[in-house]
Amino acid sequence: MAWMAWFAQWFPAGWLALPVLAFAATVSAHARLRRRLARALRQGQFYRRAMARIEDRWAGTGVRERPEDDVHHLYAADLDLFGEGSLFELLCAARTAMGKQTLSAWLLAPAAIAEIRDRHASIDELRERLDLREEMAVLGEEGLTPVRPQQLLEWAESANRLGQPWIRALAVGLPAALCAAVLWGLASGGWLPAIAILVLEAGVLYRLGRTLTLLLSGAAALYEADGLRTLAQLLSRIEQEPFSCAPLLALRAQLDCGGRRASAAMSRLAWIAAFAEARDSLIVRWLLSVPLLYPVQVALAAERWRREHAAAVPRWIDATGRFEALVSLAQYRFEHPRQPYPQFTEEPGVLDARGLAHPLLPAARCVRNDVTLSAEVPVLLVSGSNMSGKSTLLRAVGLNVVLAMAGAPVDAESLRLAPLTLGASIRVNDSLREGQSRFSAELSRLRHIVALAEGGAPLIFLIDELLQGTNSHDRRIGAEGLLRALIDLGAVGIVTTHDLALTELPRLSGRVRNVHFRETMRAGQMHFDYTLRPGVVTTSNGLELMRAMGLQV
């Protein structure tokens, strides 16, 4: 059409506007269609993941992030809190780093009872709001660089580097003077003033170069425009959601910023971040950087934002994290409607569970058991054969205590317990890098558990194969002394063992109750019912397993 208009002159060149406008409209429509497609794909993914969780095939489909120090935590690795097939993956519905960190913190440390009751009220209000959870799930794009809360907080609270008045004066005056000089040059043909102003602007950029690099390069590493837009959309959704319970109303009040909305402020920061990212583009670098003092303008805009909103950033980060963590627990409550909240009691050292199950096992093959601990009989000593379910019982108890103390429902018919802090020694391994044998690693873990009890925390301990790394004589004496020390400190707990000598500890008579799992042999195959029974185990499958593997014993 351009050839037809300009060379063949079949029609006026103005008609070229029609295909240009049609192309622009098509590009715009195509962009909207791609956004709709991406949103629809994320909606489908949201419901596919939900169905996978409901149908117990969710492992590997959710968030599998893990804290850096979870290996040395007193129960995180022992109970499979993080990683693939973990409790965190089952629970997490957070899109931001703040939500993931808050949910992780709730799982890693028990909350106060008053806080747990506030979480219950919030979860009950959020549980049926499926539209809210869907909208949160489709915010932004998959794989975005997340907003890093700690770095954002440090940036917001750092000192102003461009506070000198002359910088602001030059940032406004020099581009305005350049515009005037260019107009004068076009009118008169004299370009010396414009050239002089450009040289002066280049000198200003050189003078501030290191400061601008620290501000803009550092800031670009701390926040990313698309991630901030997603955060702004999430804040806007929280601001618009009608709440009725006091904890959620108080949480939304944290987003108030002197009558201005937190979402608007975060959206503005996203634009500043986008301009900061654009400074390396060819157009900005070669055409706009010096004439407009582009880096200075963006840095000043960032400093103004920080000056206006720095005090509110910690509240926004906290509110965002808490809200996403609550939505995660509400999602779990919605998808497990039969699971009750625990009942808390002021009686010390009480854990009374009926129909307790492992929350990470498929419901179709999960066997429920009753577990009772009290100040009168504070320790259960579980004996049983290999693969009979001893370690699974420990993890079932531990995970349900974690859920209870985080404010979530529990996988049991009922659970009554005192506020408890958890310590576990289940998955303890040697470490060549740290120069520790398995026995040394176990002793280190047990020392930390005892220290926790000595600190006055009401403790429940879960110990698998107590003192497995030493001989039977030392094991018996050491186990009796350790359990007596923990009981005297007011702790309760469950211990498993293969060593039947530990089932007879005279000095702990009446304080330790023996229970066991058993197996049966049918047609040369081991069968387990995973049902907890009173007393000491009377069967053993070690020799049968060795013979089944072809060993002559």
Q: Are 239 and 260 in contact (CB under 8 A)?
A: no
231 exposure class (CB count in 10 Å sphere: 0-12, 13-18, 19+)? buried
What average pLDDT does the segment 126-131 reach?
93
Please count the other Cβ atoms lying within 10 Å of the Cβ belonging to residue 347. 12
SS3 label, residue 17: helix
Report the distance separating Cα 496 and Cα 494, nearest Å.
Answer: 7
Residue 122 domain flag: no
* Inside any domain, residue 437: yes
Domain count for the chain: 1
Host domain of residue 460: 343-548
DSSP string, 91-146: H----SHHHHHHHHHHHHSPPPHHHHHHHHHHHHHHTT-HHHHHHHHTSS-TTPPP
| pLDDT cut 70: percent of the chain above it | 91
Look at residue 218 in the predicted model and tell me its pLDDT.
Answer: 57
Percent of the chain with pLDDT over 90: 39
pLDDT for residue 6 is more than 80: no
Q: 170 pLDDT exceeds 90?
A: no
Lowest mean pLDDT among 56-70, 292-306, 378-392, 427-441: 427-441
Tell me what pLDDT residue 359 has. Answer: 94
Computed over every residue of the chain, the mean pLDDT equals: 86
* DSSP per position, 279-309: TTSHHIIIIITTTTTHHHHHHHHHHHHHHHH
Instruction: Specify the pLDDT at position 436.
Output: 62
Give the residue, 158 or 171, on which the prediction is more confident: 171
Average pLDDT of 385-389? 81
**Residue 474: its H or E element:** helix 472-488
Query: Do 111 and 103 contact (CB within 8 A), yes or no?
Result: no
Residue 499 lies inside a defined structural domain of this protein: yes
Tell whether the model's pLDDT for residue 145 goes beyond 60: no
Picking from 171, 450, 98, 501, the residue whose alpha carbon sits closest to that of residue 106 is 98
Dist. CA 542–CA 551, nearest whole Å: 11
Q: Which residue has the tokens 């627990």?
A: 329
The span from the CA of 193 to the CA of 460, in Å, is 79
* Residue 109 pLDDT grade (very low, low, confident, very high; cuts 50, 70, 90): very high
Band of the pLDDT at 244, cuts 50, 70, 90? very high
Question: For residue 542, what pLDDT is reported?
Answer: 64
- For 445, the enclosing helix (H) or strand (E) is helix 438-454
3-state class of 492 per DSSP? strand
Question: Residue 389: left (phi > 0), alpha (psi -120 to 50), or beta?
Answer: left
User: b or e along 435-458 (b: 16 or more beta carbons within 10 Å of the residue's beta carbon)?
Assistant: ebeeeebbbebbeebbebbeeebb
Tell me, what's the pLDDT at 4? 81
Mean pLDDT of 518-545: 76
Domain of residue 401, CATH code: 3.40.50.300
* pLDDT above 60 for 219: no
In-domain check, residue 337? no
Give the pLDDT score at 529. 85
Q: Is residue 236 part of a domain?
A: no
* Residue 88 CA from chain centroid, whole number: 8
- Contact in structure between 333 and 123 (CB atoms under 8 Å): yes
| CA-wise closest residue to 357 among 412, 300, 314 | 412
Q: Is residue 101 in a domain?
A: no
Residue 396 belongs to some domain of the structure: yes
Q: With cut-offs at 50, 70 and 90, classify the pLDDT of residue 419.
A: very high
Give the model's pLDDT for residue 88: 95
